[in-house]
A = this chain, B = another copy of it.
Amino acid sequence: MARPRTPLLDRTRIAAAALRLVDDHGTLTIPALAAALGVRPSALYHHVDGRAGIIALLREDLCTSIAEGDYWDQPWEPALTAWAHSYRDAFAAHPGLVSLLATAPLTEPFLHVMYDRAVAVLRDAGFAEKATLSVITALESFVLGSALDLVAPSVMIDLVDQTATPHLAGALAALPSRPARADQAFELGLRAQLAGYRTLLAP
Contact = CB atoms under 8 A, between A and B. Distances in A.
Interface of A: 25-27, 29, 95-96, 98-100, 102-107, 109, 112-113, 115-117, 119-120, 123, 129-135, 137-146, 148-149, 151-153, 155-161, 164-168, 170-172, 174-175, 181-182, 184-186, 188-197, 199-200
30 contacts: A26-B27, A26-B100, A27-B27, A96-B99, A102-B145, A102-B148, A109-B160, A109-B164, A112-B159, A112-B165, A115-B165, A115-B168, A116-B166, A116-B167, A129-B174, A130-B175, A132-B174, A133-B171, A133-B185, A134-B185, A135-B185, A137-B185, A138-B146, A139-B189, A141-B145, A141-B149, A141-B185, A142-B193, A144-B144, A145-B146
A133 B172 contact: yes
Given A109-B164, A165-B115, A189-B141, A152 B103 contact: yes
A3 to B, nearest CB: 40
Given A103-B152, A148-B144, A116 B158 contact: no
